[in-house]
């Protein structure tokens, strides 16, 4: 019997002075390897749950068992702040540094996981500064690089990963996610779009 990567039992939480509670007796289990969704309308508590999972909120009732180390969790929020003066190719350099990868090692991973469309689109924006590209292009680039290069990660938390991303970039992102989950990584993502879950018959929890 395998040990779940993440197990939450009877979780209850409310912000100070807020009624009703955000969560009341919530339980879920995330197994190692695969893709799982978290469906909920805006304001349902998806981001709050991710903050609890990554340790940003601790004043909750219930139990949360994380069977992974801090370095094995990668959390990507909806809003990713970068210096506007950075060129997009320098974002790659930063992620290499964060993951202790040489450029050669990074490009080996990219060549293994990215298809030709990824490289065509990356080449179009890599010399541009981050403030000159759209919100969706920036999110697509950062999420794609983190998914590909964070080799030590076992669990990725993606908060509404496709928000602001056009359909072509979105399909490329799902293809990449399918590749890394096939390699044994776990991706737990939130969405308010039911169609994102039905397109691939993705198992999900609902808030």
* More confident site: 199 or 133: 133
Radius of gyration of the chain (CA): 17
What strand order describes the sheet that includes 204-206? 73-76, 155-159, 186-191, 34-39, 204-206
| Residue-wise pLDDT tens digits, 186-197 | 999 999 888 888
- Alpha carbons 185 and 42: distance in angstroms, whole number: 27
Residue 124 contacts by C-beta under 8 Å, 6 or more apart in sequence? Answer: none
Q: What is the pLDDT of residues 137-159, one digit of tens each?
A: 999 999 999 999 998 999 999 99
Query: Residue 67 and residue 54: Cα distance in Å, rounded?
Result: 12
Packing angle, helices 116-125 and 135-149, rounded to 10: 130
Which of 50, 6, 46 is closest to 27 using CA atoms? 6
User: 192 — phi, psi (to 5°)?
Assistant: -110, 10
pLDDT digits (tens, 9 = 90+) for 56-90: 999 999 999 999 988 899 999 888 777 778 899 99
Q: pLDDT (tens digit, 9 = 90+) per residue, 162-177?
A: 988 888 888 999 999 9
pLDDT over 90 at 181, yes or no:
yes
Strand order in the sheet with 23-30: 23-30, 6-13, 61-66
More reliable by pLDDT, 1 or 129:
129
**Predicted structure pTM score:** 0.92
- Is the pLDDT assigned to residue 200 strictly greater than 80? no
pLDDT bin (cut points 50, 70, 90) of residue 10 is very high
What pLDDT, on a 0 to 100 scale, did the predictor assign at position 182? 93
Q: Is the pLDDT of residue 53 over 70?
A: yes
Structure confidence by residue, pLDDT tens digits, 88-108 = 999 999 999 989 999 999 999
pLDDT of residue 62: 95
Query: How high is the pLDDT of residue 1?
Result: 62
> What domains are defined for the chain?
6-206 (3.40.50.300)
Task: Collect all residues with Cβ–Cβ distance below 8 Å to 61 and sequence separation of at least 6.
Answer: 10, 11, 12, 13
């Amino acid at each position: 019997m395998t040990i779940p990567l993440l197990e939450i039992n009877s979780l209850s939480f409310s912000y100070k002075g807020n009624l009703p509670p955000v969560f009341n007796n919530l339980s879920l289990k995330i197994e190692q390897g695969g893709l799982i969704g978290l469906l909920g309308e805006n304001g349902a508590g998806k981001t709050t749950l991710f903050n609890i999972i990554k340790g940003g909120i601790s004043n909750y009732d219930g139990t949360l068992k994380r069977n992974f180390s801090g370095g094995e969790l990668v959390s990507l929020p909806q809003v990713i702040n970068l210096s506007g003066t950075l060129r997009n190719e320098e974002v790659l350099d930063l992620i290499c540094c964060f993951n202790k990868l040489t450029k050669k090692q990074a490009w080996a991973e990219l060549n293994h996981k990215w298809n030709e469309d990824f490289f065509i689109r990356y080449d179009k924006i890599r010399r541009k500064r981050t403030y000159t590209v759209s919100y969706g292009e920036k999110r697509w680039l950062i999420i794609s690089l983190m998914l590909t290069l964070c080799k030590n990660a076992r669990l990725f938390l993606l908060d509404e990963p496709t928000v602001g991303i056009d359909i072509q970039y979105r399909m490329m992102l799902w293809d990449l996610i399918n590749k890394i989950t096939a390699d044994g990584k776990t991706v737990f993502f939130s969405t308010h779009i039911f169609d994102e879950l039905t397109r691939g018959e993705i198992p999900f929890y609902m808030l």
